[in-house]
Amino acid sequence: MLSAEQKKQFEARLLAEQAHLRQDLSKEQETLAGEHPGYSSHMADDATEVFEQAKNLALRQNTELELEMVQLALNKLRQGGFGVCERCGQPIESDRLEAWPHARHCLACQKALEERS
C-alpha cells in the first residue's frame, strides 16, 4: 500500500509526464501538418517524404498510447487500483513503478504477455 507521500510523488511525476507528452503531441502535430508528400520534383524525394510522414505518424501514435497509459495511471491513483497488476491482481514491484509509474502489469505478467505476442 502506498503512503500519502508516495501517492503525491507519483501524481507529480505522472502529471509532469502528461504535460511533456502533450507538448510532444503538439510538436508532432505541427510536423505532420507541415508535410506535403508528392510536391517535390523528384520521385526519390517523394519516397523519402512519404517515409518520413509514416515514421512521424507512428511516433505520434506511440506518444498517444503512452499518454493514455499515463492518464489511466492518474485515474487509478486518484480512484484506487494504482500499483496493482491488471492481470494477476498482485502489487506491482516498487522498483518497476519507480522506473515506469504507468506500468499496468507486474514484471512476471509483463514478461508472460511479451512472450505470448
Alpha carbon of residue 83 to chain centroid:
17
Q: Which three cell numbers stand for residue 94?
A: 516498487
Cell match 489511466: residue? 72
Helix (H, G, I), strand (E, B) or coil at 77: helix
- pLDDT at res. 43: 66
**pTM, two decimal places:** 0.81
**Positions in the chain whose pLDDT score sits under 50:** none
- pLDDT at res. 99: 96
- pLDDT at res. 37: 53
- pLDDT at res. 83: 96
- Domain residue ranges in the chain: 1-82, 85-117
- pLDDT at res. 41: 63
- pLDDT at res. 34: 67
